[in-house]
Amino acid sequence: MSMFMIGSFLGCFDSLMTVGDQASSAELPIQTNSTDPLSKIEEKTRVAFSIPKIREYQIQHIYPTLPPVVYAANNGINLRNRATANSSVLTKIPLGHKIDVLAQDQKVTLGTRTDHWYHVRVTINNQTHEGFLFGSTMTPYRIAADWDDDGKKEAMFAMFNERKELLLRIQDPNGENTWSNMGAYADGEFLADQVVVKALPKSIAGLPLLKIEVANPEQTMFWTKYASYHHEKLLRALEYTEIESDTTYSKKEPKFGPKKLSLLSIEGMVQADGSEKQTIVTKRYRYRMGVFHEKNVSEPVEKVLPPSVTN
């Protein structure tokens, strides 16, 4: 693992610890010995800390196989009586509906997308149907949270379209289903066909966020995007890229507060003697209407790190 990646992971861990210290403290009594005269001194307390739990999901353009239980990734998908695109439709399945996978069927190409057909079972309005669904119409993950902080849980679903753009869909018990295109992630000839999404709890940023992480195969380009759900709209709350080469790098270190954010931007260059020259800028954001808006930017700070010492 590169020094850049280690630094990023440590920065993220520090940020989580800071929030966890504030959000998850519990007072625990210190045990005292009753035979000790000092035990009469007023009992003190210590604070126990925990890191907020972050759920992580690997979203793929094509899953090699699907688990026994999946969900409809779109609204009104067609359950067919045979594994062909022109066979009869048995019923339409709503977004997020639970589907039992019975078997993986043939692999075919429909349009520009190659995937398996699956033999499935689904129950809708107390009627059970068995039929076939194309793999891209289903997702293994139902990401449930109170995404808009209204006291009721919504379900989010992530999938790729045929252009390898990441789509997010929300099933909201209070309103209509909605969706948003989070775009494709490309670098030269590379076009991402899998991403990691993380459900960040309210205790981290003051509101639930979906974090999207992508890297190219060479680990030289990194994309990060945060999605929010505000007033029945899925929005790009914040996004940035990071790069790394043998001699230069650009990295970001976010630190969240309640509906605010400090983003440390570090531009670095490795000198001939192994030292690193850095330019550091802090950008401060306020969360408003589902998006982090830049509030102010600090003056750049120059720093030189000595050459790394290796054993």
CATH code for the domain in which residue 133 is found: 2.30.30.40
Same domain, 260 and 272: yes
Residue that finishes a domain, picked among 114, 139, 164: 139
- Residue 210: which of 79, 55, 88 has the closest Cα? 55
Whole-angstrom CA distances from 179 to 57, 192, 228, 291 are 18, 20, 12, 16
Range of the domain at 102: 64-139
Across 111-208, where does the E strand assignment appear?
113-124, 127-134, 138-139, 143-145, 154-160, 166-171, 178-181, 186-187, 190-191, 194-200
pLDDT for res 175: 80
State how far the Cα of 97 lies from the Cα of 74, in Å rounded to an integer.
9
pLDDT along the chain (311 residues), means of 10: 42 38 36 43 48 90 96 97 96 97 96 94 97 97 95 96 96 92 95 97 92 96 97 96 96 94 96 95 96 97 84 44
State how far the Cα of 210 lies from the Cα of 198, in Å rounded to an integer.
6
Q: What is the pTM of this model?
A: 0.81
The tally of domains found in the chain comes to: 2
pLDDT for res 52: 74
How is 55-81 classified by DSSP, letter by letter?
A: EEEEEESS-SS--SEEEESSTTEEEES
pLDDT for res 309: 59
Same domain, 197 and 259: yes
Paired with 52 in beta bridges are none
